[in-house]
Amino acid sequence: MEFDYYEILEISRNASGDEIKKAFRKLALKYHPDRNAGDKEAEQKFKQINEAYQVLSDEQKRSIYDRYGKEGLEGRFGSGGGFSADFDLSDIFDSFFGGGFGGGSRQRKRRSEKYSADLEIPINLEFNEAVFGCEKEIKFDQKVPCPTCNATGSKDGKNKTCQHCGGSGRITRGNGFMNIVQECPYCHGSGEVISEPCPDCNAKAYKIQQQSVKVTIPEGVDSGMRMRVAGKGNIGANGVQGDLYVSINVKDDKHFIRHNDDVYIEIPVFFTQAVLGESIKIPTLRGEAELKLPVGAKDKQQFVFENEGIKGVNSRKKGRLVAQISIQTPDKLSDEQKELLNKLQASFGIVSGKSSTDESVFDKIKSWFKGDEPKGKKKK
């Protein structure tokens, strides 16, 4: 019986690739044979869903199908049934169905867990520790093979071949028209099963032991960097020990802000110091430096000190220290201070109650309201 692939997946003919995949996953879950044991109608529907997805998920096949229908596909990709093939859906099923279905998931045996020989752990450093380097003792959990079961996860130290997949880790479902290859839900693709779990490791095949190691942090490290400590990671079932990777995170400082190997600092400057152009002492990473302010220094003006920044991990050169001044004004004044400031203000020709803006600006604005024409223009 002829059926429309778009109708089978319940999508429109202009559906996107993501929409096709989403529809397939939804319907495959609904009609999968493991969830509809003995239901011939569901089994047939599942075959149609897979056939439709195999065509519509392939741009070339979809284009031919849209133009010539199923007959066009049979003429191009073979006749007499068209799509007999092993179609591996395990990646899709694993991500949505957990690697097993219905009764299969209830009957499967436990298996030993696999783990990476390499190990990564985070470490937090103070700002100054990262800038100048330091030594740290790091404590961490290390995985080692369980000695009780010889890293098998089984109480008797032996794993049995999975009877469902014959040790291949894959099973094939179908009737010849379309065969679906997927991970064996009974052994999770390992090809082996554990009849009785090891009581010491609970079938994990490994145990956790506390370890510590001293590491030398070089100066100049920054957040996001990783350090490799060779031969200090987990120990695999074969006895090979992996590496330990230390992932670095540097805490912020209250005063210095880091950008690559440069550091920034904000320096409060009293307004009279800025006006007079005084020399002031400012803190640096390694002590202090003298900053000579120009007369009339401006708020947020920046001053650069070369080689006063951070030494790069793989460099002999230091970055810059950038000092940005923040001009401070007093909140409260005594009568004497007010009198002195008024005298200073008058000495600059500034009249109290008036803006220091050039008077010509005010004259220009006034002329707008009087209707005066700008020079060079005549009234029409």
pLDDT at 354 over 70: no
pLDDT band at 102 (very low <50, low <70, confident <90, very high): very low
Q: Which residue has the higher pLDDT, 132 or 80?
A: 132
Count CB-CB contacts under 10 A for residue 69. 13
Q: What is the pLDDT of residue 177?
A: 53
pLDDT at 334 over 90: yes
The residue assigned the tokens 């002829």 is: 2
pLDDT digits (tens, 9 = 90+) for 189-248: 878 888 888 998 988 889 999 999 999 999 999 999 999 999 999 998 888 899 999 999
Binding residues: 146, 149, 162, 165, 184, 187, 198, 201
pLDDT at 176 over 70: no
pLDDT at 51 over 80: yes
Instruction: Report the alpha-carbon distance of residue 286 to residue 315 in Å, rounded.
Output: 18
Instruction: Report the alpha-carbon distance of residue 42 to residue 259 in Å, rounded.
Output: 61
Q: Which residue has the higher pLDDT, 151 or 126?
A: 126
Type of residue numbered 78: G
pLDDT at 326 over 50: yes
pLDDT at 99 over 50: no
Q: Which residue has the higher pLDDT, 335 or 181?
A: 335
Q: What is the pLDDT of residue 361?
A: 64
pLDDT at 87 over 60: no
pLDDT (mean) for 4-13: 91
Instruction: Report the alpha-carbon distance of residue 370 to residue 171 in Å, rounded.
Output: 95
Q: Which residue has the higher pLDDT, 327 or 64?
A: 327
Of 104-108, 172-176, 277-281, the poorest mean pLDDT is in 104-108
Q: Which residue has the higher pLDDT, 152 or 309?
A: 309
pLDDT at 95 over 80: no
pLDDT digits (tens, 9 = 90+) for 62-82: 888 887 787 767 655 544 334
What mean pLDDT is reported for the chain?
82
Helices (H), the chain: 5-8, 17-31, 40-56, 59-77, 90-97, 102-107, 127-132, 271-276, 335-347, 359-370
pLDDT (mean) for 166-181: 72
pLDDT at 94 over 80: no
Which two structure tokens, joined as six digits, stand for 188?
A: 């999770």
Which among 95-104, 190-199, 250-259 has the top mean pLDDT? 250-259
Q: What is the pLDDT of residue 362?
A: 61
pLDDT (mean) for 21-25: 90
Q: What is the pLDDT of residue 295?
A: 95
pLDDT band at 175 (very low <50, low <70, confident <90, very high): low
The residue assigned the tokens 């100066």 is: 219
Q: What is the pLDDT of residue 316?
A: 86
Of 8-12, 33-37, 58-62, 292-296, the poorest mean pLDDT is in 33-37
Map out the domains of the chain with their CATH numbers. Answer: 5-83 (1.10.287.110), 119-250 (2.10.230.10), 257-328 (2.60.260.20)
Contact between 275 and 323 (Cβ < 8 Å):
no
pLDDT at 303 over 70: yes
First-to-last alpha carbon distance for the chain, in angstroms, is 88
Binding residues for Zn(2+): 146, 149, 162, 165, 184, 187, 198, 201
For residue 225, give the nearest of 251, 258, 250, 259 by alpha carbon. 250
For residue 227, give the nearest of 210, 214, 240, 208 by alpha carbon. 214
Q: What percent of the chain has pLDDT over 70?
A: 80
Instruction: Report the alpha-carbon distance of residue 218 to residue 220 in Å, rounded.
Output: 6
Burial of 329 (0-12, 13-18, 19+ CB in 10 A): exposed
